[in-house]
Amino acid sequence: MQQYLAKLSRYHCWATEKLFDSVALLSEEQYRSNEGLFFGSVHGTLNHLLLVDQLWLSRINGEPYPVSDLSHEIETDAKMLEAALLNQCDLWFRTCAAMTERRLAQDIKFRNLAGEEGRIDAADLLIHVFNHGTHHRGQISAVLAELGVSVPEMDYYYFVKK
C-alpha cells in the first residue's frame, strides 16, 4: 500500500504541474472570473485545493488547522498560490514515502469544520486527498477547454506511460 500511495502522490504532483502549464495561459481576468465552479473561479478552486490539502495534512499529523471555511483565501497572488500548491504536493510525496504499513492502517481522528468527530485510516485519507485533487483538476480542465485553452492529458494512464 505504501508504494502505491507514494506513486499516487507522484501522479498528484505531475498532474498538478501539467494543470498549471495550462492555467498559465489564462489572462488575469479569465483566471479570476466566476466560471460557475463550486469555488467560483479557477483561482478560487486552486485556493480551495491548497486549503483542503493543508487541512488533511494537519489531520494526518495530528496538528490543529485554524481555518473554519473551505473557501477561505489562503493566497491571493496566482504565482504564490502555484508555488504553495506545488510545495504541498511535495509534502504529500514526502509524507507517503515516510509512511509505514502500520501507520497507514492507523485511524486518524479529527473534528470536521462543523465540529463533528471524524475518523478515517491514514491510507484512505491519502486516497481521498488525491481523488479530491483529481476532481477539482477536472473541473478546472473543463473551464480551460471552455475558454479555448489547450488542456493537457492528465489521466493516470499518461503519467505511467511517460
Q: 66 CB contacts (<8 Å, ≥6 apart)?
A: none
The second-level CATH assignment, the architecture, of 2-161 is Up-down Bundle (1.20)
154 vs 66 pLDDT, higher one: 154
* Residue 28 grid coordinates: 488575469
Model confidence, pTM = 0.94
Number of H helices, E strands in the chain: 7, 2
Q: Which tens digits make up the pLDDT trace of 97-140?
A: 999 999 999 999 999 988 899 999 999 999 999 999 999 999 99
Q: State the pLDDT at residue 3.
A: 94
Q: Which tens digits make up the pLDDT trace of 35-47?
A: 999 999 999 999 9
Core vs surface per residue 63-84: b (16+ CB within 10 A) or e: eeeeeeeeeeebbeebeebbeb
**What are the residue ranges spanned by the domains of the chain?**
2-161
* Residue 39 grid coordinates: 469555488
Query: Confidence class of residue 70 from pLDDT cuts 50, 70 and 90?
Result: confident
How far, in Å, CA of 116 to CA of 67, rounded? 15
Q: State the pLDDT at residue 69.
A: 85
* Residue 143 grid coordinates: 473551464
Which contacts qualify for 106-112: CB closer than 8 Å, 24 or more apart?
108/59, 108/60, 108/62, 110/59
Q: State the pLDDT at residue 65.
A: 86
Percent of the chain with pLDDT over 90: 90
Percent of the chain with pLDDT over 70: 100
Q: State the pLDDT at residue 73.
A: 93
How far, in Å, CA of 133 to CA of 135, rounded? 5
Q: Are 154 and 137 in contact (CB under 8 A)?
A: yes
Burial status of residue 55 (CB atoms within 10 A of its CB: 0-12, 13-18, 19 or more): middle
Comparing CA positions, the residue from 69, 74, 72, 88 lying closest to residue 133 is 88
- At position 146, the amino acid (one-letter code) is E
